[in-house]
Structure 1
Amino acid sequence: MSKLRIKQEEQLSIKFSHLLGVGERRKLDLYFSLPKEMGIGPQSLNEEEYYFSAVMGRRSYYSEGLHLPLVQSRFISQKKRTLEEYRLYMNLFAYQFVVAMENDAKELARQSDPQQFYQDLNELTVHCATLLRRFRRNAPADAKWKHYFENADNYLSWFCEQQLLKLLAGASQVEQYQHVYDKVLSLCHMEHHHREHHQYNSSQTMTEPNRIANKMLLLRRLIQQGVVLKEELKPLGVGLKKLTTGLATALVMLVVSSLIIKAQGVFNGVTMVMVLVLALIYGAREIFKDDVRNAMWRYVQRGRPRWSRMLRDTTTQNLIAKQLVWLEFMRQKDLPEAVQEILRRRHSQNKVEAEILHYGISTKVEDTDFLSGYNTIQEQVVFSLVPFARYLERGKDKIYSEENGVISSEAVERRYQVNLVVVCHKEKQPPQYARFKITMNWSQIVDLSLSDIPDTLPLIDELVDETTLPAATTRLDRNTTPVLDDTRTSPEATQKTL
């Protein structure tokens, strides 16, 4: 069930995803080993700020294939289904389509071989046109249903056109594949005329990029309703933090009061010297108060989860899953022995001092019925490495070489290697392990590869090695998920903003 995947998402981000079934329990621990030469540590990177700015969680119902519940008569029959149910199943299909297109376009953009690129682009275009045609074939006649269909059709048409144009803009034109290039452009023109014919957007909106982009963002949020799992995030240890702050203040005041009493015993009466001594004592208190409080809080918080999260079905409000989240810098001696053993397996030149950033997430799925037709949820978490990259050196060195008496030089970039150890704890099973090497520079992830672990440790059994897969594999017709938008932002809040 796990199907754990870790792969590169954007230039400077990685994504891990896994599947969870009804009643399942699992904990995932990710240990990022960051070389100290990168300059990243608890002094330069605040864990809480990093979590809310660079860790984007995505949780949704999951289906193994891009099915079309909308085209089935049991879903479009007004006698059997309510308006809310029709809207829900239409949204499910729309987002499965969008996410499949999005994933395939990202993988295709990383394809460097022109021949393979245009072959996969041609396949992607065929699937895209076919699914749009099947979707529109079942447009409802009733006006109260048609409004929701038009919103979805408007967004799907625009999104597909944008993804295909983006792929063409970044591709090199090859005369051998000019027919594929023209075929993609033809589909883009058809979709543009389709939206004009149905008057989905006003002329003013169509001519102004900002207006059309914001309108489509709103449409994406609107068709997200009823699909995503509602997230209720709560920080843990608030009371414990207050208690720690109070205790730290009491300890500092105890020392300060002792010094004041001693000062009064040394100096008779109020003198300028005594006033100066008291000023120094109170100044020292302000200097060390925050340091003592932070040190105590780090000690108390060590190993404790930082947040709890409830996932609910947005339609029924049923509780789907509960989660605990950890994010902290760890000391080397606090690492599990197995993780230390995996890190010791590195090549000698890579055994440098490192800071360990630990991200953990424990999930308990409730024994409750999911949305009709679904028995699995998928969680995807994207880690942006941009906050890491801002501390990295760009590198200005040159490598010199000599050939036939001619000396030439070539600029080289500074690269860093981050080791990522993944530990999967399944219920009533021993933990399983995997290690990845992330090679990056200041501007991008150069390489992400799966590495060996000691033979004595079990490898994660359902780990999918993305590094062995083709760079662009069209999955519009077989492996998609309903929604991947971060659920921290509600559709209602987005609508008010826009």
Structure 2
Amino acid sequence: MSKVYVKQEESLSIKFVHQMKEGDHRRLDLYFFLPKEMGINPQSLDEEEYYHAAIAGRRSYYSSGLHLPLVQGRFISQNKRTVEEFRLYLNLFAYQFAVAIETDSKELAQIEDIEQFYLALKDLSDIVAQLLKKFRRNEPSDPKWKHYFENSDNYLSWFCEQRLLKLLSHAPRSSDYSEITEEVVNLCRSENSYRESKNYNSSQTKDDPNRISNKMLLLRRLIQQGVVLKEELKTLGVGLKKLTTGIATGFVMLVVSALIIKAQGVFSGLTLSLVLTLAVIYGFREIFKEDIRNALWRVIQKGRPRWSRILRDTTSQAVIGRQLVWIDFIKAKELPTEIDEILNRRHSQNKVDADILHYGINSRISQKDFLAGYSTIQEQVNFSLAPFARYLERGKAKIYKESDGKISSDSVERRYQINLVLSLREGRNPPQFARYKVTMNRSTIIEVTESKLPDGVQAIGGEQEDEA
């Protein structure tokens, strides 16, 4: 597949996905070019708050495709498998199955063409039915393994049913595709009956939406065990920030002390004028102390990573990878020359002043300690653009037209275009680039399209493959 690719996730979020193999050293940088008219800048958006509130990632073991050999063919015979090994590979299959269905259903929900929507819905329904059938053919008979299988089977059956019902609830109405609708509904009914026949859930759980939802969340966490990597995030520069606070406070107190001594020389004795002057001096100290500290910290923090992250195998607790994370606003002169060249090739109407939000992640993957039989992990990072949207204006303009002497008008929505440039450097190889255009309004992302790069700039390439 493409080494890295970006796509729309939901109405106001985008994501990038990539895979890393054992021993990989990769630096990935994303540059969001936010037009000045959006009003998003260091004064209106705190980078750290945005990181914690709007950026979410997950890292897990990855195997291309959804193959049952993960469950049935990893070892020579069933007798040579341990319960823990069976559980790990079962969880990997179930987790990738769930992620694939979730991803495909979200993409399908964005299709506006009625015919294309229902044809894609039929394909998704057929794939779900086939995978569930193949999965159940390998149900173990040994009780010590069967319990883990039933947990995964219960969750996958319920989750697939929920995703299909959600698609149907928001599907465009058309009697021309009633057969497809009925086919999908029958599959959902079949899965519901299947869970009842297996007595997977008690009647009290089935009848209470809160209980069934919480139970499935628990099952989801269980199938993630051993697959999704444990993350330990640490804030960097804590001691340096304290030192910066001390230096700023010392500098302010030096100035304040000098002013106090000066004031005592001007006013003889303890007078009302001296007290008022001291009050003003201390007032200005409180005002400027924070500003000086923040300005000094920005200078010192510039270009430094904000966080470090350790990725661990949840079973063995072995360190699988280490990451450094950056997020900051940068100036245009700090951009790599290749990005300047990419942006200079834009159409003249797209060359607008912009504030640049930079997100960077440097990953070093271990050469050992991976789950047996796997050599790849997948990282997926979601960026919510909802914090951007609240600064945008609603469409208020109207376009007028005349027809047969009658004048009518159409409301026009205000749209904004964010340029997103992605830079990838692997080891000591030269960097590769990709450029995307994100068109959005206040309520949703209209589209995410990839743009061509100018000659001489190396593009992030590779054969495209479905995400698992």
Residues 161 and 76 of structure 1, relative CA distance in 2, 3 Å threshold: farther
Q: Answer yes or no: is the 8 Å Cα contact 2:397–2:412 preserved in 1.
A: yes
Once residues 106 and 74 of structure 2 are traced to their aligned partners in structure 1, the CA distance between those partners, rounded to angstroms, is 35
Match of 1:212 in 2: 212
What is the deviation of 1:164?
A: 1.1
Q: SS of the counterpart of 1:150?
A: helix
Aligned match of 2:186: 186
The answer to whether residue 86 in structure 2 is matched with residue 86 in structure 1 is yes
CA contact (8 A) 1:75 1:89 kept: no
**Aligned position for 2:312:** 312
Q: Secondary structure at the match of 1:315?
A: coil
Q: Which moved more, 1:165-174 or 1:147-156?
A: 165-174
Q: Which residue identity lines up with residue 198 of structure 1 in the other structure?
A: K
Aligned AA (2:214) = N
Question: Deviation of residue 125 (structure 1)?
Answer: 1.7
8 Å contact kept, 1:229–1:311: yes
Q: Take 2:163 and 2:457, find their aligned partners in 1: how far apart are those partners?
A: 43
Deviations 1:127-178 (A, max 9, x none): 2112212222222233332222221111111001111111222223444432
1:235 corresponds in structure 2 to 235
Stretches of structure 1 that go unaligned for 5 or more consecutive residues are: 465-477, 482-498
Q: How far off its partner does 1:118 sit?
A: 2.5
Deviates more, 1:69-78 or 1:287-296: 69-78
Secondary structure class of the residue paired with 2:79: coil
1:267-289 alpha-carbon deviations (Å, 9 max, x no partner): 11111111111111000000000
Paired AA for residue 159 in structure 1: F
Give, in angstroms, the shift of residue 297 of structure 1: 0.3
**Shift in Å, 1:245:** 0.6
- For 1:76 and 1:315, the matched residues in 2 are separated by 23
Alignment map for 1:394-409 (pairs within 5 Å): 394-409=394-409
Does 191-200 or 281-290 show the bigger shift? 191-200
User: For 1:338-487, what aligned pairs fall within 5 Å after superposition?
Assistant: 338-462=338-462, 479-481=466-468
Query: 1:233–1:220: structure 2 CA closer, same or farther, 3 Å change rule?
Result: same
Give the match for residue 329 of structure 1. 329
Structure 1 position 334, deviation (Å) = 2.1
Q: Which moved more, 1:410-419 or 1:125-134?
A: 125-134
Q: Which residue of 2 aligns with 1:468?
A: none
CA contact (8 A) 1:66 1:480 kept: no
Q: Could you tell me which residue of structure 2 aligns to residue 295 of structure 1?
A: 295
Instruction: State the AA in 2 paired with 1:315.
Output: T
Contact persistence 2:307–2:325 (CA under 8 A): yes
Moved more, 238-247 or 120-129: 120-129
User: Aligned in 2, Cα 1:419/1:480: closer, same or farther, shift over 3 Å?
Assistant: closer
- Asked if structure 2 preserves the Cα contact closer than 8 Å seen for 1:22 and 1:365, the reply is yes
Residues 90 and 273 (structure 1 numbering): CA distance in 2 closer, same or farther, change over 3 Å?
same
- In structure 1, C-alpha distance between the alignment counterparts of 2:282 and 2:65, rounded to whole Å: 67
> Which residue of structure 1 aligns with residue 98 of structure 2?
98
Q: Deviations over 1:243-291 (max 9, x none)?
A: 1110000000000000011111111111111111111100000000000
Which residue in 2 is equivalent to 1:72?
72
Structure 2 counterpart of 1:141: 141
Q: Which moved more, 1:388-397 or 1:336-345?
A: 336-345
> For residue 158 of structure 2, what is the aligned residue in structure 1?
158
Alpha-carbon offset, residue 78 of structure 1: 5.8
Name the CA shift for 1:449/1:2 in 2 (closer, same or farther; >3 Å).
closer
Q: Work out the number of aligned pairs and report it.
A: 468
Counterpart in the other structure of 1:493: none
Contact residue 419 and residue 437 of structure 1 kept, 8 A: yes
1:337 positional shift: 2.6
In 2, distance between residues paired with 1:118 and 1:147?
Answer: 37
Secondary structure of residue in 1 paired with 2:80: coil
- How far apart are residue 463 of structure 1 and its match? 8.0
* More deviation, 427-436/230-239: 427-436
Task: Tell me how far apart the structure 1 counterparts of residues 394 and 210 of structure 2 sit (CA, whole Å).
Answer: 34
Amino acid at match of 1:17: V
Where does the alignment leave 5 or more consecutive residues of structure 2 unmatched? Answer: none
**1:282: which partner in 2?**
282
Give CA-to-partner distance per residue, 1:4-30, whole Å, 9 cap, x none.
111111111111111111111111111
Secondary structure at the counterpart of residue 409 of structure 1: strand
Q: 1:77, CA displacement in angstroms?
A: 5.9
Which amino acid is 2:288 matched to?
A: F
CA contact under 8 A between 2:6 and 2:17: conserved in structure 1?
A: yes
The 1:265–1:71 alpha-carbon spacing in structure 2 relative to 1, beyond 3 Å, is closer
State the Cα distance separating 1:70 from its structure 2 match.
5.6
Distance in 2 of aligned mates of 1:359 and 1:342: 18
Q: CA-atom RMSD, angstroms?
A: 1.8
CA offsets, 1:308-354, max 9 Å, x none? 11111112222111111100011222222322332233322222221
Match of 2:25 in 1: 25
Rounded to whole Å, the distance in 2 between the matches of 1:77 and 1:29 is 45
- Is the contact made by 1:4 and 1:463 (CA closer than 8 Å) also made in structure 2? no
Tell me, yes or no, if structure 1 residue 257 matches structure 2 residue 257: yes
Alpha-carbon distance between aligned partners in 2 of 1:291 and 1:71, rounded to the nearest angstrom: 59
Output the amino acid matched with 2:149.
F
Aligned to 1:469: none
C-alpha distance in 2 between matches for 1:8 and 1:142: 43
8 Å CA contact retained: 1:309, 1:322? yes
The two structures have a TM-score, normalised by structure 1, of 0.90
Shift of 1:2: 5.7
CA distance in 1, matches of 2:77, 2:415: 59
Please give the secondary structure, in 2, of the residue aligned with 1:418: strand
Give the Cα–Cα distance (whole angstroms) in 2 for the partners of residues 31 and 74 of structure 1.
41
Aligned partner of residue 223 in structure 1, secondary structure: helix
Q: Is the 8 A contact 1:234 1:309 kept in 2?
A: yes
AA paired with 1:132?
L
2:34 corresponds to: 34
How far residue 71 of structure 1 moved from its aligned partner, in angstroms, is: 4.8
- The CA distance in 2 between the partners of 1:68 and 1:237, in whole Å, is 46
For residues 408 and 73 of structure 2, the distance between their equivalents in structure 1, rounded to whole angstroms, comes to 71
For residues 326 and 285 of structure 1, do their structure 2 counterparts lie closer, same or farther at Cα, with a shift above 3 Å needed? same
